[in-house]
Structure 1
């Protein structure tokens, strides 16, 4: 059995995981970084709108906007950390060190835009490919750092804990303690044990447990499911944010249409050209995402139409093409002219506001197990996330968690036993059945636990998913590991956790909307 020893095992190489790895390695720690795909293959790469860089003296306005978007449920301490520490994180890494090519005005100042829920312009951007510009630069710096080992194509299977994976019987009496994970290497069929002083979950969100999502394939809540299986506290999983504007055309791939379009003056209209959002909220098309998504859902339910539209007619055409080149390029591929035709859009699962509960230094209730980025929940977003806070949360969370881990490793003793052996079954999983079962998870979640929920729908979802989980567990026990099988196992578990959380919360707040009407 192969065993790898390291200081820090980072599971996920998006912006949160990469920024953590960089901070920890620069402090002298050895880091193993699990990367599902290439250096820039993560949800962070798909972030279009921008990142908040609010250096104005009215910082309290940002805090109030975050609180308002959360429907009054955000954790004030987490909000204060982001507001106070966020500008420093952006300035030091993205501006001073990496010199990200953010858009600038003719005078050379950073160009600021505004998105839904924001009371003023405070978001910096690199055209409509901000996430790609940031992650590619951070990933390149990670790969230049000698004490970071990137394991490309690797997927974590389960966390190692003293109570479950140590050969010493007495360890089962120890407090909940993590000491690494079983990892399936890229292209491999046999897992290896990575034993680590600190294990960091940075696996992103869970959008792909829904039929329609803005997330990359494989984003099924891996961190949430693994953390649940070892006894970590989970919180706010019912709060799944649906992005209101995702490109829709029959038979065509869907993609996120950035909220910055509405920040620059685009408006939502129905097929008759009516601005239906003006009757829903005082900010019209710039209302918070949960409100816009439900309004679109209700508009489509009433009209029977397949989509609504983004009307760009109030934008200068030349400015729009320069500011949003990716949108125009992708729309053109599907014979849509954003200016002349309007952009057809629908809502889709976008961001998990809940996740693995942590403090402001990434610590969970399981000793030496941390979570950062979208996998974690500090309470920053409460019931609904304010636009363009996610990339900023990745940077600030990574910095604070890495600093705390460096201090722990310098001062603490760690129990790092050799883990029990892994015994693989000989049977191969049926890929057709795996695809069918994953499709059932997504259909069930979209139909019964999506934008609008009810007790009856959630009960049906729970019944379907419980039966499916038994089938999947049988797969898992009797078949050799594959990435698709790991995806399915975690997707079913995460879906059940979201449904359970939604069932326990009868109150509609933010992105969790419950009705008794079926």
Structure 2
């Protein structure tokens, strides 16, 4: 078995993982950056709307907007960190260093837009492809930075801990400590052990455990499942945010329709052109995402209609083509001219507000194991995320985590962490794979059953009875999948299936334990 040793092992090359890697490498540390596929196959790349930047008029209003969107449940300390450190993080990396081509006014200033839940315009963007513009620039800088080894096509299998994977028997008496991971090289089928002083989970979200999602393929909660298996604390997993507007047409590939369209004046209507959101919330179509998603779902259930519609008639055709070129082109390719007709939309699983619990420096309860980005949960989003906070959270969390890690790695004595931080990581046990090859048909069938179960029983509208049924189905599935996994050589699809069923069970368990409807977690009365 090949063993690769490094200072920092980053699992996930989206914005959070890539930004962290830059900070550590620039400080002279060696970084291994693993990702499932190519550098831009991350949820960060599909973020359309923008990133919060200009809070100068009144930072307190942003604080209030985040708190209001969370239904009063967000962590005030996490909000304060984002509001105070966010603008500088954007300016330093994205504007001053990378010169990301954010849209500008005629006079040269940054163009600011507004999204749902925001009281004012404070979001910068590059047309409707902000995430792609940002991640492409960051990825290019990562590739040009000495000290970072990018390994695409590597799938983390399990985290290494002193308790479970060290060849030294006495290590099991040490506190719970992570020292890397086993990962599958999908190009060769070889399992490689990566040992590190710091391991960072930046694996993205878990939307892929639902039948309808805006997430990239493979987003099934890898980090959550791996962390759970080694004893990390998880929290708020019941709060899965469903984006209210995803393109809907039978036989067409669904894709995100940015909230910025509603920020610029588009409104939600039914099949008869009626604005059904105006009677639901004071902000109408710009209400927080959880409110809009539930309203659409209730409306569709009551009317039997297959979708709602986004009416763009208040926007001029030239403005639509200029401001939202990607959405215009993709809709046109699917037979919908959004300069002349409304966009058919439905909700889909979008963002996990919960995850692996961390402090504001990314530390988990497992020593030397950190989590950042959507994988982590500082409580910033509480029960529901405010639009355009996710990319900003990636930058702020990466910087804070890097700052704390560098302080520990450079200190001569760190008593609480000396077992891994200041000496070489231990020798991991050799990985041994079975010879049997997994049946891909069975994997696809099981994953489809997980997704349908989660969508039908643990989706936008839940009930104790639905959740209990989901749990029974998923527990039986997990037993079958675990037996399947033990008998077969690991593949990307098999690893994803194993993590998907575990993540799905964790979401259902968290939802069943919480009897209070808040934000994204909504229980139907009387069931």
Q: Same fold (TM over 0.5)?
A: yes
In structure 2, list runs of 5 or more residues that go unmatched: none
Could you say what secondary structure the match of 1:139 adopts?
helix
The answer for the alignment partner of 1:327 in structure 2 is 327
Matched with 2:189 is 189
TM-score by length of 2: 0.98
Q: Cα offset for 1:63?
A: 0.2
Could you say which residue in structure 1 is the equivalent of 2:56?
A: 56
One of 430, 433, 442 as aligned partner of 2:439:
430
CA distance in 2, matches of 1:497, 1:516: 23
Q: Which residue number corresponds to residue 155 of structure 2? A: 155
**Distance in 2 (alpha carbons) for counterparts of 1:469 and 1:36:** 23
Q: After TM superposition, list the pairs within 5 Å mapping 1:459-474 onto structure 2.
A: 459-474=468-483
Displacement of 1:54 in angstroms is: 2.3
- C-alpha distance after superposition, 1:175-230 (max 9, x if no partner): 10000000111313221100000000000000000000000010000000000000
> How far does residue 61 in structure 1 lie from its aligned partner after superposition?
0.1
For residues 427 and 8 of structure 1, what CA distance do their matches in structure 2 show? 33
In structure 1, the partner of 2:232 is 232
TM-score w.r.t. the length of structure 1 is 0.99
Correspondence 1:442 to 2:465: no
Task: Determine the C-alpha separation between the residues in 2 that align with 1:516 and 1:232.
Answer: 33
- Do the aligned residues in 1 keep the contact of 2:155 with 2:183 (CA within 8 Å)? yes
Alignment of 1:340-355 (within 5 A): 340-355=340-355
Once the two structures are superposed, what CA deviation does each residue of 1:66-90 show, in whole Å capped at 9, x if it has no partner? 0000000000000000000000000
Residue 177 of structure 2 corresponds to residue 177 of structure 1: yes
Aligned residue in 2 for 1:256: 256
Could you list the runs of 5+ residues in structure 1 that have no partner in the other structure?
none
CA distance in 1, matches of 2:479, 2:142: 41
Q: CA deviation at 1:41?
A: 1.2
Structure 2 residue 499 is the aligned partner of structure 1 residue 490: yes
The Cα of 1:146 is off from its aligned counterpart by 1.4
Question: Do 1:160 and 1:179's aligned partners in 2 also have CA atoms closer than 8 Å?
Answer: yes
Aligned to 1:479: 488
Q: How does 1:2-401 map to 2 (within 5 A)?
A: 2-401=2-401
Preserved CA contact (<8 Å) 1:53 1:123: yes
Query: Whole-Å Cα distance in 2 between the matches of residues 488 and 208 of structure 1?
Result: 10
- Name the CA distance, whole Å, in 2 between partners of 1:335 and 1:60: 44
DSSP-derived class of the 1:277 partner: coil
Are the counterparts in 2 of residues 311 and 339 from structure 1 also a CA contact under 8 Å? no
Are 2:316 and 2:339, in contact at CA under 8 Å, matched by a contact in 1?
A: no
Distance in 1 (CA, whole Å) between partners of 2:427 and 2:349 is 40
8 Å Cα contact 1:190-1:424 kept in structure 2: no
Root mean square deviation, CA, Å = 0.7
Asked if the contact 2:312–2:341 (Cα under 8 Å) also holds between the matched residues in 1, the reply is no
Number of residue equivalences: 518
1:517 deviation in Å? 3.9
Measured in 2, the distance between the counterparts of 1:101 and 1:62 equals 24
Separation of aligned partners in 2, 1:487 and 1:35: 13
1:40 Cα deviation (Å)? 1.2
Moved over 4 A (4+): none
- 2:518 alignment partner in structure 1: 509
